[in-house]
Amino acid sequence: MNYVKTALLLAALTGFFLVAGYLLGGQSGLMLAFLAALGMNLFAYWNSDKMVLRMANAHEVGPNDAPELYGIVAELAQRGGLPMPRVYIIDEDQPNAFATGRNPENAAVAATTGLLRHLSREEIAGVMAHELGHVRHRDTLIMTIAATLSGAIGMLASFGGMMGGGRDENGRPILNPIAAIAMMILAPLAASLVQMAISRSREYEADRMGAELTGQPLWLASALARLHAGTQQIPNAVAEANPATAHLYIANPLSAGGLRGLFSTHPPMEERIARLEAMAGAQPAQTPIPRSATASGPWAAPAPEAPRRGPWG
């Protein structure tokens, strides 16, 4: 059902974009909007991972550079039957993480230095499992396309408002100035709402998949509580400068003031944690991976309760 909902929402975004093109330039504007959407999505398909990682100032690491993080990701990828993604670290104090890439074979996961510093090993495993859940469901591609279309709608609407409306194929104006201003305001707002709906539905699903991958929903629940407190107190300058990438992070990296808090691309953290706690209560206690099979792995000696190493615990 989530896939049907996502497909319908993406279709709605495409429809908004085409309507904006038609209102701006009639039949020719409609065709230009269609070609622009096709070109932007093709570009996003092949280059979204490089663009996002570059904007985040992320640098790739290997097993010798970040052995604990790399080992956790490798263990989770193996357990989930996924190809090993590239692993990146972002020099950013705010604890956060995201995944990117057009498919599991070309995926990358990135964690901030703040996340590695303030979360326990078990909590880091929960976060990385969440990101691999996005990779498995190809959410990063879907959300990149949504962001591309939403941004394009905003640009088209703004251009139409400045021009005072478009003209049809006979050169007659098809929008009066009031309608142009309304489109300039309402079209990007509608696009943002659709993008928000897509992102929120995928976050819940990635939480569920991450909890199943580790076998310990409370690891991710504890991590989300720590991330929520950390993102409230520590700004993320890179994300603030590139707000279009905010929906990719596991926790909203932007300050919650004004409309940003009202139209957040992330579901309420309290609801996410409650769902994970319900998952934990509905299943018997289990050891995610037999200790004898991973004596040197990231879960060789899981702690009964995640230690509080950050300033927000």
pLDDT band at 133 (very low <50, low <70, confident <90, very high): very high
Kindly report, residue by residue over 243-278, the tens digit of the pLDDT: 777 888 999 998 755 444 445 668 899 999 999 999
Q: Which two tokens stand for residue 47?
A: 């280059």
Each residue's pLDDT tens digit, 187-245:
656 656 665 666 677 899 999 999 999 999 999 999 999 999 999 999 998 888 877 77
Is 234:114 a contact under the CB 8 Å cutoff?
yes
Residue ranges of domains in the chain: 2-284
d(CA 45, CA 57): 20
Least confident piece of the model among 30-39, 246-255, 295-304: 295-304
Angle at 235 between CA 234 and CA 238, to 5 degrees: 135
* Residue 131 a catalytic site member: yes
pLDDT in tens, 137-161: 888 777 767 666 666 666 666 665 5
User: Which of these is catalytic: 131, 205, 240, 305?
Assistant: 131
